[in-house]
């Protein structure tokens, strides 16, 4: 299949669709400075050693939660302050979610990538406002979307700011608290824009634990290796020093101590598929 014409420049050193795979990784949410700093320091080192360009990921606000009682944020201002400090002290680009148009301006002052959550991937005003920011825009494919339909989501951003959109696969809803990944979606979407594979949300079980989501992290390596072989430009992997204690999405996050081995395997397969 024909591939997209232009890569997406995140920073001068991080190019999605370039010679190195890009890794978007970090804890699901900004919980506190210590956890974010531990993950950033470790993942920057591991990414350099394994041949990935690294973007630190953490959500400053989890607006889409199963229950109203679920953790959302430590506070928007404090979370953004921590992300800015991560960016400054570790010299790392930042990706974080936005949910409404009024969030674009303040968040784009901190983030290098504005992320559109899967449930909002058809929201025209949000996509176009994100495009106006001049930042790279990661559009997560909705669990309800076919891959061909994501062409139009990317075009909404690129109509404002050409070649700034990229797409992320995170599975399709199969009902009964489960997601299924169709690997055919990767080359299909890659016709329209660079593609990232969301390793950890693809093994999520939405609402699978009653008032919160479950996950099957044991299957993350299998799906990630398959995506690397199928051909992608990057990987989205949430990680945490102690996933069992995480405030959000713990069951599907990869333990921080396992990331070095995981990335080594992914890079080997990715390099073979891109020869």
pLDDT per residue rounded down to tens, the chain (275 residues): 889 989 999 999 999 999 999 999 999 999 999 999 999 999 999 999 999 999 999 999 988 766 677 788 999 999 999 999 999 999 999 999 999 999 999 999 999 999 999 999 999 999 999 999 999 999 999 999 999 999 999 999 999 988 999 999 999 998 788 899 999 999 999 999 999 999 999 998 876 566 666 778 899 999 999 999 999 999 999 999 999 999 988 889 999 999 999 999 999 999 999 87
Domain boundaries, the chain: 8-273
Nearest to 50 by CA among 263, 273, 236: 263
For position 62, what pLDDT does the model report? 86
What the block records as the tokens of 131 is 């495009």
CATH number of 8-273: 3.20.20.70
Q: How far is CA 218 from CA 118, 159, 268, in A?
A: 23, 40, 20
Report yes or no: 165 and 4 within 8 Å, Cβ to Cβ.
Answer: no
For position 210, what pLDDT does the model report? 61
Is-above-0.75 flag for pTM? yes
Report yes or no: 15 and 194 within 8 Å, Cβ to Cβ.
Answer: no
For position 99, what pLDDT does the model report? 97
For position 212, what pLDDT does the model report? 60
């Amino acid at each position: 299949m024909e591939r997209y014409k232009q890569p997406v420049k995140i920073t001068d050193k991080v190019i999605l669709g370039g010679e190195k795979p890009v890794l978007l990784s970090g804890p699901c949410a900004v919980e506190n400075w210590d956890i974010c700093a531990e993950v950033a320091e470790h993942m920057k080192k591991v990414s350099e050693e394994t041949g990935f360009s690294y973007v630190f990921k953490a959500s400053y606000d989890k607006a889409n939660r199963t229950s109203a009682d679920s953790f959302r944020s430590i506070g928007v201002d404090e979370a953004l302050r921590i992300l800015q400090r991560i960016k400054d002290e570790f010299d790392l680009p930042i990706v974080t979610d936005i949910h409404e148009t009024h969030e674009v301006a303040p968040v784009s002052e901190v983030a290098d990538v504005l992320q559109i959550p899967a449930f909002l991937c058809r929201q025209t005003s949000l996509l176009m406002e994100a495009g106006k920011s001049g930042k790279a825009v990661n559009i997560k494919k909705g669990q309800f979307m076919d891959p061909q339909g994501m062409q139009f989501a990317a075009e909404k951003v690129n109509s404002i700011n050409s070649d700034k959109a990229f797409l992320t696969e995170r599975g399709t809803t199969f009902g009964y608290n489960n997601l299924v990944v169709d690997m055919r979606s990767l080359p299909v979407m890659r016709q329209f824009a660079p593609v990232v594979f969301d390793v950890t949300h693809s093994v999520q079980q939405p609402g699978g634990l009653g008032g919160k989501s479950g996950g099957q992290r044991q299957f993350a390596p299998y799906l990630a290796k398959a995506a690397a072989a199928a051909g992608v430009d990057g990987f989205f992997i949430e990680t945490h020093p102690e996933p069992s204690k995480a405030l959000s999405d713990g069951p599907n996050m990869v333990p921080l101590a396992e990331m070095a081995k995981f990335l080594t395997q992914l890079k080997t397969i990715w390099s073979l598929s891109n020869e």
